[in-house]
Structure 1
Amino acid sequence: MERIELLKLAEKDFEKVYALMEEAFPVEEVRPPKNAKAQLRDPRYSILISKNEADQMLGFIARWDLGTRIFVEHFAVDSSLRGGGIGSGMMRAFLSQAEKPVVIEVEDEKTETNLRRIHFYQRLGFHLSQYGYDQPVYRGDMSKKIPLKLMTYPNPLTAAGFEDFRQQVFTQIYKIIKT
């Protein structure tokens, strides 16, 4: 496996990233296109992509800088390329340059797919926490609940760290104040 390079998203590649986001995530977890593109203007938000020599986008990592930590909101690899080490290579490259602790969300439901995803992140050094919440729905069935657990790198999440992160993510990203 060759070294994976992560590049800041060029606006011309946004449509490819958005198409992959819609393919890889349930509709409830993806902002409408106009909102997703507008989000690129927020200085706390950025998307990193990986491409091959033929300029084919391999995958992306969408991240928020929340001040004390980095929150990875979306991470996906092109479905035709999954299982070949690209995802782990991308995440290793991302973690090697992360200047702050990293938090990700994983589905709380105990399906085989979700357990494989959790194990994937654990192999990369993430810690599964006991803490979680229901993510607000971005679009689609607004009555649907999206139960999520948090995973953190490089250290396990503490109760105080969870409360701090939950406050940050709900007020800065989800724009809902949770008490």
Structure 2
Amino acid sequence: MNEKDFEKIYALMECAFPIEEVRPRENAKAQLKDPHYTIWISKNEADQILGFIAEWDLGSNIFLEHFAVDQTLRSAGIGSRMMAAYLAQVAKPVVIEVEDEKTEINIRRIGFYQRLGFYLSEYGYDQPVMRGDISKKISLKMMTYPAPLTAAGFETFKQQVFTQIYKTIKE
């Protein structure tokens, strides 16, 4: 991603995720300078942003912090194609977070990732709130690709994500 696309990506992020899961604009823009953070963008022939994948390279694995498709383009297979293309080129195991609450949308989201080859684990944690209602609890479970998550793998991932990523959250 180049910086000129930041505002469009940030607007898409704010539409696709609850406020508690999106950093304040200044913090989100500042993290673009982190060499471990990358945003991959999918565009059409008209240079319209279709969606994006935001990743953190944690060394032993890749953490996908955000993945979204423009809401006006959903259900057209764009997300599946984007993620399949991403997974075909990634060289490390991939970890994502999904909401643990059993709602219809969360169950559908988990099914989407499972169809792409992700495994739902029993391991999870409460994500720190990035902004908004700091008393809100965001309970998450981990999904991994291409293999299931082990207890040791979860402990390593959790230590990495809380020391390398969530430490950057500021009110």
TM-score > 0.5, shorter chain as reference: yes
1:116 equivalenced with 2:89 (yes/no): no
TM-score w.r.t. structure 2 length?
0.97
**1:29 positional shift:** 0.2
3-state DSSP of counterpart to 1:40: helix
1:157 is matched with which residue? 149
Root-mean-square deviation (CA, aligned residues, Å) is 0.7
Pairing of 1:15-164 with structure 2 (within 5 A): 15-164=7-156
Q: Which structure has more helix as a fraction of its residues?
A: 2
- Matched to 1:34, the amino acid is E
Q: Point out where structure 2 has 5 or more consecutive residues left out of the alignment.
A: none
**1:14 positional shift:** 0.4
- Matched to 2:3, the amino acid is E
Q: Distance in 1 between matches of 2:65 and 2:98?
A: 10
Q: Point out where structure 1 has 5 or more consecutive residues left out of the alignment.
A: 1-8
Q: Distance in 2 between matches of 1:83 and 1:162?
A: 32
**1:10 positional shift:** 1.1
TM-score w.r.t. structure 1 length?
0.93
Residue identity over aligned pairs, in percent, reads 77
Q: Distance in 1 between matches of 2:149 and 2:118?
A: 10
User: Once superposed, which parts of structure 1, at least 4 consecutive aligned residues long, lie more than 3 Å away?
Assistant: none
